[in-house]
Structure 1
């Protein structure tokens, strides 16, 4: 298959050959969310070209199309900035999703990041013979598959690429509305309805709060333990306090401190059906990537009984019936699966040793988890949110830039040798190529 070089990346369109294959300059970045934008921006700062492939029709698809209206960043904006550019001073401490999208669009424009939209990556494999990553992407416009080739591949498609919906027995018999949290926008249309929310993470809690405020009656199904912490303590963000303490104290001591303050501020969560796990909130975050709940108002409604806690769902039993694992049954008008997302990397990355079958990095705690074999890089999978994604982007881009510059220097040196060979005639040959007489 004939390959054609391309200048795709920061504003330059890809030139695809009729054979459907192109050799791009610089790395291929899969994903135009915050992680992909951070890598592209940093590469731009290093003067390295790049190509960004994005399956949706715009940047930050999750934030644009799959989040509820009232969503705000759960951490203060100072912990959510991407490399090189902070949030505007007039943004609130906890920016809304619309604020965050404005920031991301401005960020992409500032660094001239122009992804190739509507390109769904279906396969990425390393060609050892050519020392190239071959990435196949299908165009949403015409269904045509194109192969992009580069020595470097950056996986930045995120931990939240595909929604997770657990199988529940009898779901097909349920006559009420069933939706994943990705389709939930507002509780307004559920006014007066009994709504079961499966999941007690930050999204599940906040949706229950939203349902209450719109006149619905929410029930939250809790399958396992959960840590609920106040969003702020001592006039500062809980996350910020934890980060400062971790500089001086071991994680177990910091967890004990956080739980002590949480009990003082919130009371005993177990009395209201929210059992705390044995491991502390920061330890669980490190081990599983699961974040503690930072309360924004739902806890007071749980204590007052306006948000009702129910056990894990065992099955759907009829038109609107749901049976729980404790044997009790209730009727609901709607069910929302606030059961999160997963990575889809294993479905298309055919080579590499960075990901497990369920889409998580194999070396989540290793310092080198952002770099894999054969020019493979991983950004946004550290389980440390936007702050971790930014740090991974800086490291990956710097590493790629060093390799890019080495290749450029070698090419320049090779070019100089060729030029010298043609400009300096060999011994016994004059400048016109005429052999001198002996």
Structure 2
């Protein structure tokens, strides 16, 4: 019987050795999809002793930025993995305890726990000797001095663990200073005058958290914001916005309708003290901050002019004394165990085709290195569905030059539409990104189909002298 080439190729690929770095949402998703596809040789490296990454409050890996009152921004009904819903009774917007319990249950349900090497820090990922594009091999070195061989490496270590510090605040302010990454609870700030710098989701959460018991709370928003409510008409706001998530609805119209809804429920952002929106920004949702601003528990400022000791002078010319500055100034997109020659992160960018593939290195992938407007489990599942056909030999990546051109086009898109803040360098609105993944996958699978047909034609064709033709 003639062997089936596709079955033979699949048998060869399923024996590949996979390293997955990180046992948070992205790492668990990646490992589950690999195992489900028949790739059984999967090792998950976790620096700490816990499953769940940032959703494990007080995680001993030292990388979690979770605070005591943290809830997810997306609802329970859209945040779970497609084949593993939350158990009955979980609140509408799960908190970090719910999320940690959910991720532990997910890992248990799909047999991931036995693949995790806990308390194992990866310090180096580099090409092994003999590496080629056709046959990539990687070496993973751990802090214990082990050097382990793998055919593929999936980096799922996250991008919220290396804080960015504004030197003006870190070096100039002489009171108490901390990055929001290290904030845990409001108790240490009772009775203090606190300036929270940065109006992202964490900054707004923290300002709302401390303002009731702090003596004074100022929130500095250096660019325009659009704060979506959590609940309208007794239902999650996203229940309504999801109705607009049709590819036939123009993106501009969708955004205008959502902005109108927000204005109906929160009024003008400029009336609350924020700058007008001149470009797009990462999605922001908060249930209570508007009320705190209206009740004068939080005062909004639009920028800092100078810092002198414990005195901060704002753009409007006013000056105040503060006891504490909490800097919600974002994170470096840092992968410390991979050299800059392999994955450069200059200007806080990670150059990846479709946010997954470094153009010049085969067998190395990144899952979860993006900011998006849908739930993270949903985004990560789409990334893995896009990746698997490549690993199964059913799709062929574009050339490195084509991938770099795609990356440059994405950078131009972000520069045109988004504020220049560092967090927007990996922004991927899901109504653009997910269709892009599907279109790209179809093109890569068609490329593989044509390559396969060409190979079969070359193998079966006969030249006039009786030898096989070479095409």
CA distance in 1, matches of 2:257, 2:127: 47
Contact 2:130 2:137 in 1 (8 A): no
CA RMSD in angstroms comes to: 2.6
User: In structure 2, which of residues 35, 47, 51 is the aligned counterpart of residue 59 of structure 1?
Assistant: 51
User: In structure 2, which of residues 320, 327, 336 is the aligned counterpart of residue 330 of structure 1?
Assistant: 320
Contact 1:39 1:397 in 2 (8 A): no
Contact 2:27 2:367 in 1 (8 A): yes
**3-state DSSP class of the match of 1:59?**
coil
Residue matched to 1:45: 36
CA distance in 2, matches of 1:227, 1:38: 31
Cα 1:312/1:45, change in 2 over 3 Å: same
Query: How far apart are 1:256 and its partner, in Å?
Result: 0.6
Residue matched to 2:397: none
Residue matched to 1:211: 210
Residue matched to 1:160: 160
Cα 1:119/1:313, change in 2 over 3 Å: farther
Unaligned runs of 5+ in 2: 1-14, 59-64, 395-471
Contact 2:16 2:152 in 1 (8 A): no
CA distance in 2, matches of 1:58, 1:397: 27
Residue matched to 2:371: 383
Residue matched to 1:421: none
Deviations 1:238-295 (A, max 9, x none): 334333313041111011111111111111110221123223xxxx3xxxxx532212
CA distance in 2, matches of 1:83, 1:150: 29
CA distance in 1, matches of 2:166, 2:29: 32
Unaligned runs of 5+ in 1: 1-23, 285-289, 404-438
Contact 1:81 1:386 in 2 (8 A): yes
Cα 1:337/1:192, change in 2 over 3 Å: same
Q: Is the deviation greater in 230-239 or in 42-51?
A: 230-239
Contact 1:43 1:398 in 2 (8 A): no
Residue matched to 1:370: 356
Residue matched to 1:420: none
CA distance in 2, matches of 1:163, 1:299: 27
Residue matched to 1:74: 73
Residue matched to 1:138: 142
Query: How far apart are 1:231 and its partner, in Å?
Result: 2.0
**3-state DSSP class of the match of 2:121?**
strand
How do 1:92-111 and structure 2 match up within 5 A?
92-111=91-110
Deviations 1:206-242 (A, max 9, x none): 1111112334421101111111122234554333433
- Report 1 or 2 for greater relative contact order, CA contacts < 8 Å, sequence distance ≥ 6: 1
Tell me which protein shows more helix as a share of its residues.
2
Residue matched to 1:121: 122
Query: How far apart are 1:348 and its partner, in Å?
Result: 1.7
Query: How far apart are 1:39 and its partner, in Å?
Result: 0.9
**3-state DSSP class of the match of 2:294?**
helix
Q: Scaled by the length of structure 1, what TM-score is found? A: 0.75
Residue matched to 1:270: 270
**3-state DSSP class of the match of 2:146?**
strand
CA distance in 1, matches of 2:379, 2:203: 24
Query: How far apart are 1:383 and its partner, in Å?
Result: 2.3
Query: How far apart are 1:83 and its partner, in Å?
Result: 4.7
Residue matched to 1:252: 252
Contact 1:124 1:133 in 2 (8 A): no
Query: How far apart are 1:350 and its partner, in Å?
Result: 4.9
